[in-house]
Each structure stands twice: as structure tokens, then as C-alpha cells.
Chain A
Amino acid sequence: MSNYYVRRTARVFATIFAVATLTFGLIRLLPGGPFTQLRAQLLRQGVPASEVDARIANLQNINPNAPLWQQYLDYMSSVAQGNFGESISLGEPVALIIAEAVPWTVFVVLVSTILMFAFGIFLGSLQAYWEGSRFDKAFSGLSIALMSIPFYVVAVISLYVFAYQWGWLPTAGTVGASVEKELSIPFLLSALEHSILPIFSYTLGGIGGQALAMRGNSIQVLGNDYVRVARLRGLADRRIATRYVARNAILPMYTGFLLLLGFRLSGTVILEQIFSYTGLGYYMFAALKANDYPLMMATFLVITVALIVGVYIADLTYSKIDPRISAGGSDEAY
């Protein structure tokens, strides 16, 4: 069994390595390549033609005149050291920008995903408990309706209503302009105020799907013999609901939770753009618009690594949480 963990861990590094290679390839795929645009830009800024190559090498850790394999090795080794070069459009080290952006994105994604699951599980289990009732029917309909609303529609509408029309909440940014960036109460309050709308719009649409999933799981569990036996034993309803039903119904959703965390990171590209919330997705989009390849590739890599780690944790812990599942599995070839 330990062999499985070793292999699984090795695959994480192999995947990260492969994605880093892919990003290297993608830079070269983009129209005009990474250097044409940058060269033109530098020349426009009045950098003498003789120094342009040196500046590019400095910005991207890649010598544009070196053979491709040399460029590849340079790129990979600097990425391995966490050195992503310097952002072209912002003129700052990419690592610095990302370090500033990541906490905001993680905060919004984590809080909204947890809220989404909490509401989904709560509503879903109530629906399953009163299966077939008017409450169940109404909320199944509501869940389907919620599932069909993309989060950016919620975002635009809530921005329109709460921020622009009623002016209750700020329209953009992560904290107020006048607030010092230090750990203090005004800072936290301002950060909270700015994050309400992004979190709200990223949570609402997801509740429907989770509620339906939880409802389905719970109904399945409720039909099991051990639940009937528990009733016959005269256990308290509360104990049956939490220990016997909820636990087993939530179990299959656990992997989904970790995977969703990763997937939802990439959705922030749209979310943070709408709220001008300067997180990872915001910078990724800004970099894309400005042809800022170093920043773009770094954000891409960071999101990918988060996704890979999420899947990895899900895979490793699932067999621990649910002993019925054994890691690995049969592998006979036909």
C-alpha cells in the first residue's frame, strides 16, 4: 500500500513538471511569440536596440537568442526556484504580485465553497427528510433554478443593485483606498465589506447543485437497513440524523469539495474581473490583455498547482475517511 502513496506522490511532481513544460510551449504558441511584442514595447519605451535582448533575458529569465533546449532548461530551473521573472506591464517581480494576490483569491474561494457546501448539505438533508413534501418540491425547483444561473449573472445583478443603485457595498477593490494595509480592525472590516458581494455571487449559484446531490445521497442512505435497525434500537432521531445518515451522505461529497476548490480557482478569472478584486484571476486576465507573458504563465502555474494538490489530497485522504474504498484497485489487463 505504501507503494501506492509513493507512486501517487511521484505523479504529482510529474504532473506539475508536465504543466510547467506546457506553459513553456504555450508561451511560444501565442501570436507573435513572447519576444516580438516585448521587443517592440521596449523599443517604444526608448530602450536602445543593443540592450533589448539583455533586458528581455532579465525580464523573463530566458535568453531569446539561445537554442530552444537552453531556453527550456533556463525556464524550468528558474520556475523550480520560484523565480517567474518580472512582470512586463507592472514592472514588479511576478512572485511578489502573486504573493499579494493569492490570499484574496484563496479567501474568497475557500469561504464561498464552504458556505456553498454548508447551505447545500443543510437544505439537501431537510429535503431528503421530508421527501415528496411541498417543501421538497419547492426547493428542488429552486435548486434547479439556482443551478441555471451562472455566477457572473448573479455578480453583475448584485453589483448593479447593492453597489451601484443602493450604494450599500463598495463596487470594486479588496479594501478601501484609505485603509492601511496592516492587520487591524478597520482593515479587516473593510476587507470583509469588499468581499461580501464576490463571495455571495460565487456561493449562490453553487448551492443548488450541492443541495440536489445531498438530497440524492441522503435518500439513498435513508433506505439502508442499518438506518432501520438504528430506528428499531430506539436511538434518538437526532443521533440517527447526524451519526447514521449525515455522515454517510456527506462522504461522497468530500472528494467533490476538494476538486471544486481547485476548479473554482480558475473561475475567479471572471469573478474578480467583475468586481475588480485584485486576486489571482484578476491578474491573470490583466496579464492576458497586456500580453504580459511572465505574469500570465505564473498565475496559470499557480492555479494548476492548486488544482493538482487538491486532487492529490482528495485521493490520499478518501481511503482514510471511507474505509470501504481501498487505494489502488485491481489492474488486470484484458
Chain B
Amino acid sequence: MKRTEEDDPRTLVTDGAGVDWRGSSTSSVTVTREERLREIYEESVRKPFIVAWSDSRTRLGLLIIGFYFLIALVAILGLWREPSTSQAPRYLMLFENMNYPLGTTASGTDLAALIIHSTPDILLMVTSGGLWATGIAVFVGTVAGYKGGSVGRVLMSISDFVMAIPGLPLVMILAITFNPKNPILLGIIININYWAGLGRSIHSQVLTIRENNYVEASRTMGVSTPRIILKDVVPNIMPYVTVNFVFAARYVVFASIGLFFLGVLPYSDQNWGVTLNFAYSGGALFSWSAAHWLLVPMVAIIGLSIGLILLGQGMDRVFNPRVRTRLAGESESTAAVDEKDTGMTEVL
């Protein structure tokens, strides 16, 4: 009853009515559209943002992710030159020539251009992979957990089976089979079986949620199953899901760059992983003078995943209703406690 209890007093204030014992469904009729919109803005944009911003980790995470989006914007708007071979002197070091601040490769390609122009695709891939994994996991976990019985058993057997298939090797085979160049499709393929572990832990959480008395009340009132799942069950697992969205996204970063690095995934333009691969096979290992060729894509990868992890750690507070209503930064984040559940999903 966590969320609804806290929502009710607020609706009372906004419509100015007396004691509303019939529940929020009738009170919402008297609220004008403008008030509703304002409340939605207040509830889902302003407050979460204030809470998120008050935590230094989330703030840093948001800044880092924002920076990557900025880079993506630079690439989309064409504000930086396109990468091409022999566009600059070969093997320029970091900051040696400020026209090419990140240096150049053995073929005289601007490293900064390589990194910048692959950012949009990587962000697309990461987002699609994260959405896919969490979306399927939430669907399977809530339906199986709430419905229980044979539906639950079948869904859980399917996810057990999917979980048993090793991720990276399967992705490699699928990548060679389908040869996906589209970053959105690539994100989905990389996380093709990531949802299973997550779905399993959501399932076990829903098993306890469904025993709550407000869920039982909805059921006796004859509310349809999809509505119960959407309104009563999903809000409870949202914090967990968001944190895991971030972890799924990080897995996409790690796995995709790793597979690009191996040269398994198809690519049309050089991205961070392919650059790493070229540097590795292009002899950057043997000399100090080419070390930046390896380091630049590595820093790009690590930066993005630090941003994602910080965001995931702080995200927990945003969705924790107890923290949100207080709007105060006293309570300790429990993200680290949730961490133990990520043992169910793949880690690289």
C-alpha cells in the first residue's frame, strides 16, 4: 500500500474536497486537466529530478550520460569532421596537435572523429538493448508471478531454459547468422537472453506483492488482470526495474564492445570496439608511441559505464517513495542492497 497511501493525501489537497473515502478513481473526475498535468509534472518530472540531483552519485552519473548525449548531438549535427584515413599526420599523440586533440591512428585517422561519430549508434544500441531486456523481463515476471499456476510455470520454465543458454556464444552465432547492422537490432540481439535472470527475480518479488491486501481488494472488485498488473504490481517493482535497466544497458556496452573488439559483430563504420580491435591488431601493443590508440576507446567505454553505474546506484532513491516525499537527503541509498539480486543476471 506504499504508493497509494502517499498519493491519497495529495489528491485530497488538490481537489480541496473533504474526506474522500471512495478512493482516487472518483476524485480524479473533479480534477481539471490542467491540475492533472501539473500533478503529473510534479510527480514524475520535478520531484524525481530534485531527489536525483540531491545525490552526488546520481548527479555525476547524469552529467556523464549527458556529456555522451552531447557528443552524440555533435556527431548528428556534423559539428566535427568525419573520420577518414590519411586526414592527418600518423601517430599523433594526445594533445600533440590541438586540431586532433585525441591523436591519430596508424592510418592517420582522427581518433576524436572515430569516437564522436560512433557515439550515436552506441547510445541507440545501449538503449534498445536495455529496453528490450527490462521490457520482456517485466512482462514475463509480472504475468508469471501474478497469474501463477500453469501460466506461471510455463513462463518460468521458458525463462529457465533461456537462462541456461550461454549469452556471449549465442550472441556470436546469432550475429553471424543475421548479420545485423542496425544498432537497435544489435542491442536486442546482444541482450537476447538477458531478460531471463531479471524476469526470474521480478517473478519472485511479484509473488510477495500479489499477497498484499490492496491487490486482493482489486481482484475481488473484479478489476481486470492487465489493469491489476499495471496499476498495483508494476509500480512496486519500478525501482528495481530501473536500476536493472541501467545494468542491462551496461551489459550491452561491455558485451557489444567486446564482440566488436573480437571482430564478431558486423560493422559499417569504425566504433569504439572496432577501433580497439584495429589498435590491438595494428601493433599498438608493441610500442609506447601508439598507446593512446588503445587508451582513447577504452576511456570512452569506461566513462559510459561509470555514468550508467552511478545512475543506477542513485536511481534507487528516485523511485523510493519514502525518500521522494521527504525530498530530503537523509536516507541511505539501498542500491547496494539490491546489488545481490544482480547475481541472477549476467555480469561481464
Q: Which residues of A does B touch, CB under 8 Å?
A: 11, 15, 18-19, 22, 26, 29-31, 140, 144-145, 147-153, 156-157, 159-160, 164-165, 205-206, 209, 212-213, 215-217, 219-220, 252-253, 255-257, 259-260, 262-267, 269-270, 273, 284-285, 288, 296, 299-300, 303-304, 307-308, 311, 329-334
Task: Quote the shortest CB–CB distance from A327 to chain B (angstroms).
Answer: 13
A252 to B344, CA, bound (A): 11
Task: Quote the shortest CB–CB distance from A220 to chain B (angstroms).
Answer: 6
A257 to B150, CA, bound (A): 30
Q: A150-B302, A212-B336 are in contact. List 8 more A-B contacts (CB 8 A).
A: A164-B285, A165-B288, A213-B336, A219-B337, A264-B347, A269-B262, A300-B166, A303-B166
The answer to whether B161 and A18 touch across the interface, beta carbons within 8 angstroms, is: yes
The answer to whether B337 and A151 touch across the interface, beta carbons within 8 angstroms, is: no
The answer to whether A307 and B166 touch across the interface, beta carbons within 8 angstroms, is: yes
Pick the residue among B262, B280, B348 that contacts A285 (CB under 8 A): B262
Say whether B136 faces chain A, with CB atoms less than 8 Å apart: no
The answer to whether A22 and B169 touch across the interface, beta carbons within 8 angstroms, is: no
Pick the residue among A31, A144, A256, A334 that contacts B176 (CB under 8 A): A31
The answer to whether B147 and A26 touch across the interface, beta carbons within 8 angstroms, is: no
* Chain B, interface residues (CB within 8 Å), range: 35 or more
Known contacts A217-B337, A303-B169; A270/B347 CB under 8 A:
no
Task: Quote the shortest CB–CB distance from A22 to chain B (angstroms).
Answer: 7
Pick the residue among A26, A266, A270 that contacts B262 (CB under 8 A): A270
* Interface residue SS majority, chain A: helix
Task: Quote the shortest CB–CB distance from A317 to chain B (angstroms).
Answer: 15
The answer to whether A266 and B169 touch across the interface, beta carbons within 8 angstroms, is: yes
Pick the residue among B166, B254, B264, B338 that contacts A266 (CB under 8 A): B166
Closest A-chain residue to B310, C-beta based?
A: A144
Pick the residue among A148, A156, A159, A307 that contacts B306 (CB under 8 A): A148
Known contacts A156-B294, A263-B347; A307/B164 CB under 8 A:
yes
Pick the residue among A11, A150, A156, A259 that contacts B343 (CB under 8 A): A259
Q: Give every chain A residue within 8 A of B342 (Cβ-Cβ).
A: 209, 213
Q: Give every chain A residue within 8 A of B305 (Cβ-Cβ).
A: 147-150
The answer to whether A19 and B285 touch across the interface, beta carbons within 8 angstroms, is: no
A213 to B280, CA, bound (A): 34
A92 to B142, CA, bound (A): 48
The answer to whether B339 and A334 touch across the interface, beta carbons within 8 angstroms, is: no
The answer to whether A304 and B164 touch across the interface, beta carbons within 8 angstroms, is: yes
Q: Give every chain B residue within 8 A of A265 (Cβ-Cβ).
A: 166
Stretch at the interface among B1-9, B100-108, B151-159, B237-245: B151-159
The answer to whether B343 and A270 touch across the interface, beta carbons within 8 angstroms, is: no
The answer to whether B337 and A15 touch across the interface, beta carbons within 8 angstroms, is: no
Q: Give every chain A residue within 8 A of B264 (Cβ-Cβ).
A: 285, 288
The answer to whether A19 and B164 touch across the interface, beta carbons within 8 angstroms, is: yes
The answer to whether B146 and A334 touch across the interface, beta carbons within 8 angstroms, is: yes
Say whether B172 faces chain A, with CB atoms less than 8 Å apart: yes
Q: Give every chain A residue within 8 A of B250 (Cβ-Cβ).
A: 148
Q: Encode contact with A along B163-198: 1 for CB under 8 Å, 0 otherwise.
A: 111111110110011010000000000000000010
Pick the residue among A18, A144, A150, A160 that contacts B313 (CB under 8 A): A144
A148 to B146, CA, bound (A): 35
The answer to whether B258 and A333 touch across the interface, beta carbons within 8 angstroms, is: no
